[in-house]
Structure formats: C-alpha cells, structure tokens
Amino acid sequence: MADITEIRELAQKLNLWNIARGYIDLNDEKLSNLDYLKMVLEKELEIRARQKHTKLKKASKLPNKAFDASNSNKGLKWQIKQLSNLTWLKEEQNLILLGKCGTGKTGLAAQLGETAISNGHKTYYAPFDNFIAVAEKKATNPKAEAIFSYMQECDLIIIDDVFYVEPTRAELQVFYRAVTFLNETRSIIFITNRELSAWIDVADDKHLCQTLLDRMTVNCQIVRLTDK
C-alpha cells in the first residue's frame, strides 16, 4: 500500500509542487486510488529518464562500438569493473587508454561513456582531428563554438587517436590550451596507441609536450590494453 509521503516525494521530483507540499489533499475520498497515482508518477519519471538518456546519447557522438572483455586478463577485468563504478569520474580523474590498434580502446571508451550517460552525465566523444578543428575555430565558426560550449557542459570528454599521427607544433599548442582549459572541472579519456614516452620523441616542442603530459597524468589512471 502506497503512502502519502512516497507520493509527495515522487511529485517533488516531477515539480508537481501542489502535491509535494500538501496543497492537494491526497486523503480526499474523491481522489483516485493512491497506488494508481504512485504508479502514474513512477511511470512519468521512467519516461523522462529514458528520454534524457536518448538525448544525451545522441549529443555524445559516441561510436557504436562494443568492448569484448572475454579474453582480457584478470587484472584488466578487475580494473574495468572498478572503472564502471564511475568513482574516477566523480573525482574528476582522467583516464589514458593505451594499446596497439585493434585492442579495443575505443570500444572500452564507448562503454564507459555509455555508463556515464546512463548515470546522467553529459559526455562528448571526438577524434583528435575533430577536437583540434573545434578548438581552433570556436571563436570564428558558430558550429565549432556550439560544440565547444557543449563540451564545457560535459562531465566527460573522450578524445580518440591522440598522437596517432604526430601533431604539428600549432596543433600541439591548440591541444594543450584546450585540454588545460577543459580539464579543470571534468574528466577526459585520452585514447592513444603510442607510448607516452614516445610522445616527446616525436613532438616538435618537447617542453610543451612534457608539460601537457604532466597535466594529463597528475590525477589519472592508465589502462593498458594488450592483444588478445
């Protein structure tokens, strides 16, 4: 049997303040059955949650990729299980997914992004080239400005193919500025197939690259994926 307190709590979540604050008498004999009303309000919340998930998923641009953990070693399985709790996201930690091509890095990032969205977190995915293009044009291009503004609203940003191809000095500068700005109040997942030590080897501006790495890894977990 539903009670009035439960119904008022549900009404508050729906901004139905006349019910939530007791202005409408739920004990009035002329009202519908309380259990039915409770079911209606719960259904409304369920529909809203589903609509919110659909909206966040569409805005995220997450790739339609899945991660197969069946052949992963026990250590990686344990690490992924811990990451699924999203403690790192709540603590605004970064993740670096490191491994060769074909090891499932993007699939794992998409899986974590989907988990974040399911928990109500705004998420945005961008390959490195797209991220650079948006960061470069945000001051002059309305579409880029809108995308960058949305990234500022996000709790999680996923950047794929970082250092897959050696960035130019100009691209590295743009990347550094954007990451430094965005990383202040949110988590970023960096996906790369290149060892971090090798970033400096191929960078034109080695000092800037080292500074970038220092900022990325100061509050960070590294997840290393290997060939199955």
Contact 98/195 with Cβ under 8 angstroms? yes
Whether the pLDDT of residue 228 is over 70: the answer is no
Residues 108-132 have a mean pLDDT of: 97
pLDDT given at position 28 = 63
- For 46-111, strand residue ranges (E) read 94-98
> What pTM does this model have?
0.85
Query: How confident is the model over 140-166, as pLDDT tens digits?
Result: 999 999 999 999 999 999 999 999 999
84-94: average pLDDT = 96
Contact between 97 and 189 under an 8 Å Cβ cutoff? The reply is yes
- Calculate mean pLDDT across residues 48-54: 90
What domains lie within the chain, and their CATH numbers? 4-59 (no CATH), 74-224 (3.40.50.300)
pLDDT at 168 over 90: yes
Query: Residue 26: what pLDDT?
Result: 67
Residue 46's CB is within 10 A of a number of other CB atoms, namely: 10
C-alpha 108/C-alpha 151 separation (Å) is 20
**Of the ranges 17-21, 59-63, 198-202, which one carries the lowest mean pLDDT score?**
17-21
The 8-class DSSP code of residue 103 comes to: S
Q: Which two tokens stand for residue 145?
A: 């400005």
Q: In the predicted model, what is the mean pLDDT of residues 28-48?
A: 74
Please give the mean pLDDT across all residues of the chain: 90
